């Protein structure tokens, strides 16, 4: 099956009279908050300040408070957040950084951009997240950092990851692009590592109307360094003390994110309701539903099942006007971009077994109950 078939653009409405159900649908969110968003943009436009202005300062304070960290740094996107976090930790050529093979390519590109070597460890079969038991075997004298990725909104098992990192003097940079607002042992993910990196890509659980991202940290020194790196290595304008980057967040995006932040808890609660309903409706079918890991609150950026005959189910749903997604169809070490790029991967049988079975069903806060039922009924009809 081609990669293009795994997007929600292939819904075939010609075979059904029912209205399509997209895997993600932002138009409904805009119907609810469009007036507030327009007002926020109107607030910014006459101000004459369009990058690193007062909206960003206010958003950084509000997002830090939301995450329970002293600092948040608004940046241009999630990929840049990861690269800046690595740079702030001083990671570069000759260093090794451990992550997982089933993540989005950006996690690994950020390591490569810094000239460091990506090292892959396998994931757990229940959470699809980094297996902490495999970390020590992957650590060498060159290892400098670990990037756990909270896949689909399921928090990683942060306690053993942090223990191993501290024992070996390694930095931990959490990739929280999928898991805004998810809890592990009573605290929000992103707040456990040295730095947490968020994407606010529009379709994320918490998204801007364009590209944006953030880094959170509790470390004052890392906060200073990340801020300086974000804007050309300067603390005082035109005095560049280090090689920095141009990776700032736009003022308009900050203003839009400020409109959305007060809604986030409610949106997360609705995602949890939808997931619980799918759990009920799919319980007796031959699919594996997302695992309810102890001491964790899944944020359900995606509701990802393991489905026998996945590609057939995907096409069957599309013919019934239902969008689903395969996130991600190719493991990073198998991507063409890494054919000639250095990386190190131990054996990754679990990630390999998952990649042909994962399927993410429609989930977004405005998804209606009748639509959830229609998705589940279509899956039931497929397996009967």
Ligand X SMILES: Cc1ncc(COP(=O)(O)O)c(C=O)c1O
Residues forming contacts to ligand X in the complex (CB under 6 A) are 77-79, 103-104, 106-107, 149, 175, 177-178, 199, 201, 211, 213
Residue 299 Cβ vs ligand X, minimum distance, rounded to whole Å: 13
Task: List, in sequence order, every residue forming a beta bridge with 75; answer none if it has no partner.
Answer: 213, 248
Q: Are the beta carbons of 254 and 41 closer than 8 angstroms?
A: no
Q: How far apart are CA 72 and CA 254, in angstroms?
A: 12
Question: How many CB atoms within 10 Å of residue 158?
Answer: 24
175 versus 371: smaller Cβ distance to ligand X: 175
106 versus 255: smaller Cβ distance to ligand X: 106
Residue 110 Cβ vs ligand X, minimum distance, rounded to whole Å: 8
Residue 39 Cβ vs ligand X, minimum distance, rounded to whole Å: 25
106 versus 378: smaller Cβ distance to ligand X: 106
User: What number of CA atoms fall less than 13 Å from residue 384's CA on the CB side?
Assistant: 8
Taking CA atoms, 55 is separated from 52, 66, 212, 248, 256, in Å, by 8, 16, 14, 13, 9
Q: Are the beta carbons of 156 and 182 closer than 8 angstroms?
A: no
Residue 312 Cβ vs ligand X, minimum distance, rounded to whole Å: 26
Q: Are the beta carbons of 252 and 50 closer than 8 angstroms?
A: yes
What's the distance, CA 37 to chain centroid? Answer: 23
60 versus 175: smaller Cβ distance to ligand X: 175
Residue 153 Cβ vs ligand X, minimum distance, rounded to whole Å: 11
Taking CA atoms, 351 is separated from 19, 44, 310, 319, in Å, by 35, 45, 16, 29
Residue 18 Cβ vs ligand X, minimum distance, rounded to whole Å: 30
| Closest-approach residue to ligand X (CB) | 78
77 versus 223: smaller Cβ distance to ligand X: 77
69 versus 107: smaller Cβ distance to ligand X: 107
Q: How far apart are CA 342 and CA 147, in angstroms?
A: 18
Q: Is 36 exposed, middle or buried (0-12, 13-18, 19+ CB in 10 A)?
A: middle
129 versus 378: smaller Cβ distance to ligand X: 129
Residue 196 Cβ vs ligand X, minimum distance, rounded to whole Å: 12
């Amino acid at each position: 099956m081609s990669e293009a078939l795994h997007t929600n653009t292939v819904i075939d409405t010609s075979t059904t009279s029912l209205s399509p159900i997209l895997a993600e649908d932002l138009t409904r969110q805009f119907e609810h908050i469009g007036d507030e968003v327009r007002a926020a943009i109107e607030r910014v436009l006459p101000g004459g300040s369009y990058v690193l202005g007062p909206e960003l300062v206010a958003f950084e304070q509000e997002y830090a408070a939301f995450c329970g960290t002293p600092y948040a740094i608004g940046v241009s996107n999630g990929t840049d957040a990861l690269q800046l976090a690595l740079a702030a930790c001083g990671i570069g050529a000759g260093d090794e950084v451990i992550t997982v093979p089933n993540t989005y390519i950006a996690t690994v590109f950020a390591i490569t951009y810094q000239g460091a070597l990506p090292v892959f460890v396998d994931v757990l079969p229940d959470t699809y997240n980094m297996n902490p038991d495999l970390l020590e075997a992957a650590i060498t004298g060159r290892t400098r950092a670990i990037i756990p990725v909270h896949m689909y909104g399921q928090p990683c098992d942060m306690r053993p990851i942090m223990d191993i990192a501290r024992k070996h003097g390694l930095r931990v940079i959490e990739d929280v692009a999928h898991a805004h607002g998810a809890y592990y042992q009573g605290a929000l993910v992103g707040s456990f590592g040295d730095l947490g990196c968020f994407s606010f890509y529009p379709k994320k659980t918490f998204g801007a109307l364009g590209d944006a991202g953030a880094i959170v940290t509790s470390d004052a020194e890392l906060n200073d360094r990340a801020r300086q790196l974000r804007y050309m290595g300067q603390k005082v304008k035109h005095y560049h003390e280090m090689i920095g980057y141009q990776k700032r967040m736009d003022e308009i995006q900050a203003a839009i994110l400020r409109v959305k932040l007060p809604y986030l808890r409610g949106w997360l609660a609705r995602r949890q309701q939808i997931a619980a309903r799918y759990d009920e409706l799919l319980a007796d079918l031959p699919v594996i539903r997302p695992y309810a890991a102890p001491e964790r609150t899944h944020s359900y950026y995606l509701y990802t099942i393991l489905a026998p005959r996945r590609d057939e189910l995907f096409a069957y749903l599309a013919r019934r006007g239902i969008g689903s997604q395969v996130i991600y169809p190719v493991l990073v070490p198998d991507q063409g971009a890494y054919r000639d790029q250095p990386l190190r991967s131990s054996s990754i049988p679990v990630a390999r077994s998952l990649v042909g079975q994962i399927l993410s069903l429609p989930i977004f806060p405005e998804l209606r109950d009748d639509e959830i039922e229609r998705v589940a009924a279509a899956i039931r009809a497929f397996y009967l």
